[in-house]
Structure 1
Amino acid sequence: MSGLILGIDAGNNGAKVAGPYGLDISKTAICGWFERDIEETFGDDDTEFEICGRKGFAGSIAEEEDEYGGGSMFGDTKAHDDTKVRVLLAANRYIKKYCPQVNTLKIVVGQPIATHKDSEKKKIEDMLLYGHEFVVNGERVSYFIEEVRVAIEGGGAFWSRPEIGLVRILDIGSGTVNAVTTKDKKIINNSSSTFNFGAETIRNKSDMSGMARGIIQNTTKLKWHKDDFVLVCGGIADRVAMHLKNHFTNIEVLSPQFQYQDGITVAHPVYANAIGFYNIAKGVYR
């Protein structure tokens, strides 16, 4: 089989992948390589890698062992080497899990709306396109990425459950919140933005009401109204949405519909972007 189509949402806290065989998720923390005296197992996503001369650990092990803390590069762009590592490892994990005979891919990945510029998208495309040979857990693998498209985070989530009319999307990530407005399936730029805070960057990570207040304050600057139809996605969508309901009267947690070879299922909102990216990929890579 060739030309496997995947939607990959390579976030700071987790890589979510949607493809024809199902869904997958893994932690995306990355740290430098070191010699281990005791080889503990922290999760099934523990990964030792060497990619383009960069050697390190990724997944649960990096989250625990990173001496500099966090194991993630936050910000409003994905045009950096961490994204390349995350996307390649996520694709490799999906292929090993579902379709080990595959070595050629066509993918759609994401970029926050604030930096969804041609120059930034080209950086991402250039670093992911074509041949990649690297080492994962001692095994040398090679893949050829035939095509790459860069979609808007949050806007991609819309395509996991598209709606006609005016729809506001709140895509709550670990490093950013993407606020996207669509009208009749078209993105309205002037009422969309990226807020430079997220679940892992706020001071008190358990203060969901505070995060909701921050989101509300920023959406009022975009002229969002209390009675607008709002969909919330991301790993903590349900926890934040319960506080957003104090302001937005017509709000729902986005439960994406996922169609794959075994049928149709309703997935967790953390998969909304990945499923939306996959749906976009199926349309552009026919």
Structure 2
Amino acid sequence: MGDIVAIDAGNFETKFYDGKRFIRFPSVIGYDWRERNLQDKPKQFDFDWEYDGQRGFAGTLALTESDCAESRKGESKAHPDAQLRVLLALHQFSSETENRIIVGQPIKTHKPAEKEAIKRMLIGRHELKVNGERRVIIVRRCEVAAEGVSSGLLIPGGGTVRVIDIGSGTVNFGTLIDRSFNDRGSFTLVTGLETLKTPDRVAFARQIALKALAGGWKAEDAVYLCGGGAESLLKPLRVYFPTAQVIEGDPVYANVKAFYLIAGKVFANG
């Protein structure tokens, strides 16, 4: 049946977790491949890739060698860049040809049509070449979890739990009530740390907090932060949510850790 793997194909970094290893690499991709005159031995996250008739650089190699390197951002992961991020992670870090995977989608677009689009682009047989190594990757099953709110499952106990997942392209606001997802208290802000024109953490925290309060959250709620901006925005967010805290462990990996927890249940029977 293959490995069970959780992948958060984020706009800034792609995170991988197989129950044993947490790995992350830059999500940036360049489609402007060229023959290089000078080539060192590839570093861990240097990816010279070839897939489906296209070729380019990704990861740290794209940052140093691509003139047109970029990371596609937005409220959906149903696009070719996210597909390539997932396949690169499987090529480099999964020891199996066949995999059962769970990936993420922002709350705002966590809808049946979007989830089916993600499944269609990932399930099946893929042939990918990275740094000269050609591998066949078979995705047997794929499920799509909601980003941010799923991390609330890492919080023990019941009651109302609020989660703010602060990413590079989106901020996800999630609510769980007695460990069940609550739609009314969950939504997405379609901006993030990498899309701000003015990287003012205090101003951004204010925007996040006002969005949450307008959505029915209360200042006294149990609020937990995860994502790449969790630690840097904790202090300014405590102005609005005094008991806010960062999810225990590395908040960058909270989503994939929760996804893997969910995968263990949904893939229990194969």
TM-score by length of 2: 0.94
Partner of residue 28, structure 1: 27
Q: Distance in 2 between matches of 1:157 and 1:60?
A: 28
Partner of residue 261, structure 1: none
Say if 2:91 and 2:128, in contact at 8 Å, map to a contact too: no
Partner of residue 265, structure 2: 283
Deviation at residue 241 of structure 1 after TM alignment: 0.9
Q: Distance in 1 between matches of 2:36 and 2:73?
A: 27
Q: Distance in 1 between matches of 2:194 and 2:26?
A: 13
Residues 64, 276 of structure 1: alpha-carbon distance in 2 compared, 3 angstrom cutoff: same
1:168 aligns with 2:183: no
Q: Distance in 2 between matches of 1:223 and 1:159?
A: 21
Alignment of 1:119-134 (within 5 A): 119-134=113-128
Say if 1:49 and 1:136, in contact at 8 Å, map to a contact too: yes
Say if 1:42 and 1:60, in contact at 8 Å, map to a contact too: no
Aligned AA (1:51): Y
Identity of aligned residues (%): 37
Consecutive aligned runs of 4 or more in structure 1 exceeding 6 Å deviation: none
Give the stretch that moved more between structures: 35-44 or 244-253. Answer: 35-44
Tell me which of 102, 109, 113 is aligned to 1:115: 109
Partner of residue 151, structure 2: 157
TM-score by length of 1: 0.89
Deviation at residue 157 of structure 1 after TM alignment: 1.5
Q: Distance in 1 between matches of 2:247 and 2:176?
A: 15
Deviation at residue 21 of structure 1 after TM alignment: 2.2
Residues 161, 93 of structure 1: alpha-carbon distance in 2 compared, 3 angstrom cutoff: farther
Give the stretch that moved more between structures: 241-250 or 159-168. Answer: 159-168
Say if 1:111 and 1:152, in contact at 8 Å, map to a contact too: yes
Alignment of 1:36-185 (within 5 A): 36-39=36-39, 43-68=43-68, 71-95=70-94, 100=95, 102-185=96-179
Aligned AA (2:52): C
Say if 2:149 and 2:186, in contact at 8 Å, map to a contact too: no
Residues 62, 232 of structure 1: alpha-carbon distance in 2 compared, 3 angstrom cutoff: same
Deviation at residue 120 of structure 1 after TM alignment: 0.5
SS at match of 1:55: strand
Say if 1:28 and 1:72, in contact at 8 Å, map to a contact too: yes
Deviation at residue 42 of structure 1 after TM alignment: 8.3
Q: Distance in 2 between matches of 1:211 and 1:169?
A: 17
SS at match of 2:154: coil
1:232 aligns with 2:225: yes
Aligned AA (1:23): F
Q: Distance in 2 between matches of 1:41 and 1:180?
A: 43
Deviation at residue 103 of structure 1 after TM alignment: 1.0
SS at match of 1:37: coil
Alignment length (residue pairs): 267
Deviation digits for residues 85-135 of structure 1 (CA, Å, limit 9, x no counterpart): 00011122222xxxx3x1111111000010011110000000100211111
Residues 161, 91 of structure 1: alpha-carbon distance in 2 compared, 3 angstrom cutoff: farther
Partner of residue 12, structure 2: 13
1:211 aligns with 2:204: yes
1:270 aligns with 2:252: yes
SS at match of 2:219: coil
Deviation at residue 40 of structure 1 after TM alignment: 5.5
Deviation digits for residues 218-269 of structure 1 (CA, Å, limit 9, x no counterpart): 11210111100000001221110111011102211012xxxxxxxxxxx311
